[in-house]
Amino acid sequence: MALPEDVVVQEHSIELPTNTTNAKGRPRILTHILLVAGGFLMIYPLIWMFGASFKPAYEIFTNQGLLPQHPTGINYVQGWNALQFPFWYYLWNSTLVCLGAVIGNVVSCSLAAFAFARLRFPLRGVFFAVMLGTIMLPYNAIVVPQYVLFLNLNWLNTFLPLIVPKFAATDAFFVFLLVQFFRTLPRELDEAAKIDGANYWQIFWRVVLPLATPALATTAIFTFLFTWNDFFTQTIFLNNQATFTAPLALRAFLDSTGQSNYGALFAMSLISLIPIFGFFIAFQRLLIEGVATTGLKG
């Protein structure tokens, strides 16, 4: 197994009790068969896409198998150079946008969350309710005025519209996630630091943040993944190929080739998914715990 050791250990510690409680002799093999079949069906398209990216054009529509009969790397070469810039350029743009968004979210959401979770001030309840309300706010309802604003600031076709709002804690979901996490940290730590003469900034920076690394990592990883996959905001604010991110480049490529060059489209699509796979493999446990705990605390 390619998993880090602690993951494996943790799995066992979870599995053992359920194993004993579930010892009624169910036909477990049947469950395995169904799960394997279902899982295979689920990811067959993904594996097939991988195989198809190495198939010559005529084979993609004729060969439903996973392996190419006449493997070729031509799709990667064609796709890489299909647009105005080589594909790495769009991946780099995506990376810049993601890094900006991650830093912005981690900084601004943790600041806001500390205030909501730890400090008392007039109207805190009202502001907290407003913050919860913005979690459900559809992006549609703010996109037109934002567009007008960024147009007047001359920010269109730059990454600023995608990054600057993140520095203003606009992803309220992460504020909420961090508030919930900060609340689980014992308040006695704050009190002790206060007695030692720490001010609120020092309590935040030296006491709360170091203890909140799992929640901050969850925020960072999910911000990265959401931003990497984001298409709606990027397609609105970026219209110039020099500023295109990977999803916009894929769309431009799709529009320019239509149905004709799926091999190259698949090749570039797969390359654009590599960071997501990478994050999943590297942070599997954090990701899954992140989903599980934010769900539980909702």
Partner 1 sequence: MARSSSHLSQAVLRTEGTAPRRGFFRLRDKQREAIAGYLFLLPWFMGIIIFTGGPVLTSLYLSFTKYNLLSPPQWIGWANYQLLIHDEHYLHSVRVTLTYVLFSVPLKLAFALLLAMALNRGLRGLAIYRAIFYVPSLLGGSVAIAILWRQIFGPDGLVIKALSLIGIHTYSWVSSPNTALWTLILLAVWQFGSPMIIFLAGLKQIPPEYYEAASTDGAGSWTQFWKITLPLLTPLIFFNLILQMIGAFQAFTPALIVSGGDGGPVDSTLFYTLYLFIQGFGDLHMGYATAMAWVLLVVIAIFTAVAFLTSRFWVFYQDERG
Asked if residue 26 binds partner 1 (CB under 8 A), the reply is yes
CA atoms of 233 and 140, how far apart (whole Å): 10
Q: How far is the CB of 197 from partner 1 (least distance, A)?
A: 6
Q: How many CB atoms lie within 10 A of CB 214?
A: 14
For 71, the enclosing helix (H) or strand (E) is: none
Stretch that binds partner 1, among 68-76, 93-101, 182-190, 285-293 (CB under 8 A): 285-293
Residue 118, CA atoms < 13 Å, CB-side half-sphere: 26
* Residue selected from 54, 76, 87, 114 as contacting partner 1 according to rule CB under 8 A: 114
Token output for 285: 């446990």
Q: Locate tokens 């992006």: which residue?
A: 139
| DSSP code, position 242 | G
* Residue selected from 6, 13, 25, 122 as contacting partner 1 according to rule CB under 8 A: 122
Taking the CA atoms of 204, 205, 207 and 209 in sequence, report the sign of the dihedral they define: positive
* Residue selected from 90, 204, 224, 244 as contacting partner 1 according to rule CB under 8 A: 204
Binding mask 38-67 for partner 1 (x = CB under 8 A): xx--xx-xx-xx----------xx--x---
List the interface residues with partner 1, window 134-153 (CB under 8 A): 134, 136-149, 151
Q: How far is the CB of 251 from partner 1 (least distance, A)?
A: 6
Q: Would you give the distance in Å from CA 137 to the centre of its chain?
A: 19
* Residue selected from 93, 94, 170, 243 as contacting partner 1 according to rule CB under 8 A: 170
Nearer to partner 1, 157 or 293 (CB): 293
Asked if residue 86 binds partner 1 (CB under 8 A), the reply is no
* Residue selected from 9, 33, 34, 67 as contacting partner 1 according to rule CB under 8 A: 34
Number of residues in contact with partner 1 under rule CB under 8 A = 104
Stretch that binds partner 1, among 93-101, 177-185, 199-207, 208-216 (CB under 8 A): 199-207
CA atoms of 175 and 172, how far apart (whole Å): 5
Asked if residue 74 binds partner 1 (CB under 8 A), the reply is no
Stretch that binds partner 1, among 81-89, 111-119, 182-190, 207-215 (CB under 8 A): 111-119
Q: How far is the CB of 180 from partner 1 (least distance, A)?
A: 13
Taking the CA atoms of 52, 53, 55 and 61 in sequence, report the sign of the dihedral they define: positive
Q: How far is the CB of 213 from partner 1 (least distance, A)?
A: 19
Q: How many CB atoms lie within 10 A of CB 68?
A: 17
171, 223 contact by CB (below 8 A) = yes
123 three-state secondary structure: coil
Stretch that binds partner 1, among 71-79, 84-92, 208-216, 252-260 (CB under 8 A): 252-260
| DSSP code, position 241 | G
Nearer to partner 1, 16 or 77 (CB): 16
Stretch that binds partner 1, among 72-80, 88-96, 105-113, 181-189 (CB under 8 A): 105-113
- Give every CB contact of residue 200 below 8 A, 6+ residues apart in sequence: 119
Least Cα distance to 244 among 89, 81, 99 occurs for 89
Token output for 83: 């647009």
Q: How far is the CB of 228 from partner 1 (least distance, A)?
A: 8
